[in-house]
Amino acid sequence: MDPEIIVFDEPTANLDPVSRRDMVALIRELQEGGKTLVIATHDINVVPEVVDRIYVLNKTLLGEGSPREILMDTGLLDESNLDTPAVTKLFEVLSCFGYDTREIPLSMEEAVSHLTRTIEDGGGNIHLHIHKHTHEEIDMLKGKKHAHHRSPE
């Protein structure tokens, strides 16, 4: 069998980390081979790694867009009982310390590129700062289901 379209239902559910990486690699290999994939998942951390379009469903279509459009739409995520990727949350915390996060990474791959660029542009360093409002911003992030991106001051 060599189907043109393959449907995955929760392909990373209950997998250990190594098996999860293997599944992501398999999905990417299928994509590179020209297969069309439909993936139903609640694993929000895998989404930016394997999709180029997201349809948020809950008995009806709630939203549609690129991973960035959907995963940065906190209202839609709240309505859908979804969360932002863990790496995105980390960069939201870093923004409280003055890290420039105009374009918050959605995946580990994006995060590594972002950090590498920042280190190269900063002469081999990343500069973080604690301001009087830093702890308040972090407490606000902890208290929200989804943090809202703020530009550093």
Task: Write the CB contacts of 95 (distance below 8 Å, at least 6 apart in sequence).
Answer: 101, 104, 149, 150, 151, 152
pLDDT greater at residue 103 or residue 16: 16
Express each pLDDT in 93-127 by its tens digit. Answer: 888 888 877 788 888 888 999 899 888 888 888 87
SS (H, E, C) 7-71: EEECCCCCCCHHHHHHHHHHHHHHHHCCCEEEEECCCCCCHHHHCCCEEEECCCEEEEECHHHHH
Q: Which CATH class, in words, describes the domain spanning 5-79? A: alpha beta
pLDDT at 147: 46
Q: Point out which residues pair with 37 in neighbouring strands.
A: 6
pLDDT averaged over every residue in the chain: 86
| Tokens (6 digits) for 109 | 């791959």
- Provide the residue ranges of all domains of the chain, joining segments of one domain with +: 5-79, 86-143
**Contact of 50 with 28, CB cutoff 8 Å:** yes
